[in-house]
Structure 1
Amino acid sequence: MIKVILNGCCGKMGKTVTELSKDFPNIEIVAGVDKFLNKKYNYKIFSSINEIDFEYDVLLDFSRPESLEDLLTFSVAKKKPIILCTTGYNKKDLELIEEKSKLIPIFKSANMSLGINLINSLLKKIVPVLYKNFDIEIIEKHHNQKVDSPSGTALQLANTIKNSLSKESSYIYGRYGSKKRTKEEIGIHSIRGGSIVGEHEIIFAGTGEVIEISHKAISREVFAIGALKACEFMASINIAGLYNMDNLLKI
């Protein structure tokens, strides 16, 4: 049995992960951490990760970037793997993750959807072929409560596109003014409204034709399933390093 601590257990994703964990007979959530102790689960909820002093196998985080340092310190002390599903990390956060990955296994993904990560893998192959004759734009849509913009997934897709090119490119966040688009631009556009779970579209606009690759998450379950599969994967990892969905999917 894989024993999981769920940080951010009382949030929307925490609730979904808890419910879907029942479909994973080899996974047991043994404790939750959240500043809002307002949910009744079949596991105990702590207000701080530092209050937990019993054995576990994997720490799964669906919270906010502000909790990163405490979570990493705790995981390094316990010598246990951690799965980071949170987005909105700044440069200092990313450097800290990189530093701690030399000590423990860290799984980090901006999007836990299997579909999004397969699209991300596909981009590595098609972008070098299409770039010469196509302009590339990304549109992402999320609910009106999402804090970070652009989404972590949009940035993940944009970084994959940028890293797949031999020429320098730059990000343009939205468009305003009368300046013409340049070839080197990768446009990233964010929409916030209602209860949209998450939609991402990559547009390759050429002369006389347009190629669109899109992904729509119609429920949060897709992210929870990916996170629980990551728990299964990371429970077997005992080598320090930075892991992601490519490792899980073996792509």
Structure 2
Amino acid sequence: MPELRRSTRASTVEATKRLEEPPVKKAKTSAAEKKSATKTETESEVNELPKPAENESHKQKSAELEVGDEIPDLTLLDENENEVSLKEVAQKSKFLVIFAYPKASTPGCTKQAAGFQRNYSDLQALDTAVYGLSADSPKSQMSFVTKQGLKYPLLSDPSRKLISVLGAKKSPSGVKRSHWIFVDGKLTIKKIQISPDVSVDSALKDVQRLEQESGDANGAKEEEGKDSKQNGGKKD
């Protein structure tokens, strides 16, 4: 029995010692280690984020209409708030001239619009539709049409969606004076940032030249067809 009592006492002493011993403290993380861990986590998060386009400006530029491209399938309001489909307009005439101006009823824009009005009958004779274009509201366009006695429509593009596609958007909110000529729905002439006089004069001359070239090409095809018939459809 004495041995049992001694064993019990020893166990009690050991248990008491364990209770009195302070808990083992974890080693503190140094500031350098914390900084390194934070940096690693940040780098990991950055690597997981989607990467932006490598060349955003090139991407935007590629969306711009270039010579040879089809006219965009967009619909805008004219001065009467009627919807105008560019695709439909391009199908109705052989040539389509769209000229852009910064702001309705301002001196330079008035000069440009009046010039196209002056040449309008000549352009019509060449199967050419003419449309003015700006970021003005339909109401402002109507006032412009009325004051200048314009016989052709003016398109309203307040969001500058078409203006941007055509390459005439000017940051932050402006419009570059420009014009474009479409032949059978395809962009053939593109002139950006030009003067009112150049826009008016060159547009008419370019349409006349394109009509002449088209006539020459058709004449050559007719002659080729005649020669083919005379030779019985045989080629040399």
Between Structure 1 and Structure 2, the one with more strand by share is: 1
| Structure index of larger Rg | 2
Between Structure 1 and Structure 2, the one with more helix by share is: 2
| Structure 1 and Structure 2 fold alike (TM over 0.5) | no
